[in-house]
Amino acid sequence: LALGIVACAPLLGQIPVVALVGVMLLVCQSTFSWGSLRLLGKVPNLDLFIISLVTFVTVKDDLAKAVLIGTITSALGFAWKQSTTISATISQTKLDPPSGPTLPNVKSYNINGPLFFASTQAFSRIFRVKEDPDDIVIDFTGSRVFDHSALEAINNIADRYGALGKRVYLRHLSKDCARLLGNVHEGGLPPYEVVESNPNDPFYGVAEKPEFYKDVPVPKSG
């Protein structure tokens, strides 16, 4: 085929460009899946926007730029979508403070959804610091801490409670996450921020700067 194109180049050069455009339009009309238009009302708006954006950039510039822009837009859209999924259910739980009697009914925020840079503001809005009792529990059984912003968000919440003389107990964090909280917080973990350890705590790493991880061994499952 390549040799044929090279050999017939002078002849191909005599074909009007308009004719070639017409051929390409007929090819597009024949190969396009017209049935996919029925999906326009069913495809998520974000996906529809990305498809339109990639198509526009491909026609205007080139496919390489379109792929790059589409990948970035898709990643940002995914992060935004995940940031809206974080929530909390409130329950009562038993608490055994390091000092003092056992508290049978302590308010517990049971976090659900990933905690990372895009969801930290939604995470902070969950709590009612002024209205809450002197001791509260934040349970991360249904969540996972992903990055430095998430660690800062947890410490900031604890500082807000600590400023009012209240204490926060953190449950079901990975071991390295618990130690990183102390490294990230200036001066180490304050007395009003208590991390409770449990044999059933999860295993996962946190995306963090090497200097904060220097004395924190990453846990290994099994």
Q: E-strand spans in the chain? A: 87-95, 103-115, 135-145, 167-171, 193-196
**One-letter amino acid identity for 53?**
L
End-to-end distance of the chain based on CA atoms, in angstroms? 58
Mean pLDDT of the chain: 85
**pLDDT single digits (tens) 12-45:** 778 788 888 888 888 877 877 777 777 777 778 8
Secondary structure element (H or E) that encloses residue 202, with its range = none
154 vs 179: which has the higher pLDDT: 154
Quote the pTM value.
0.71
Identify the pLDDT of residue 1: 60
The pLDDT > 90 percentage for the chain reads 36
Q: What is the mean predicted confidence (pLDDT) over 88-102?
A: 86
> Per-residue pLDDT for 215 more than 90?
no
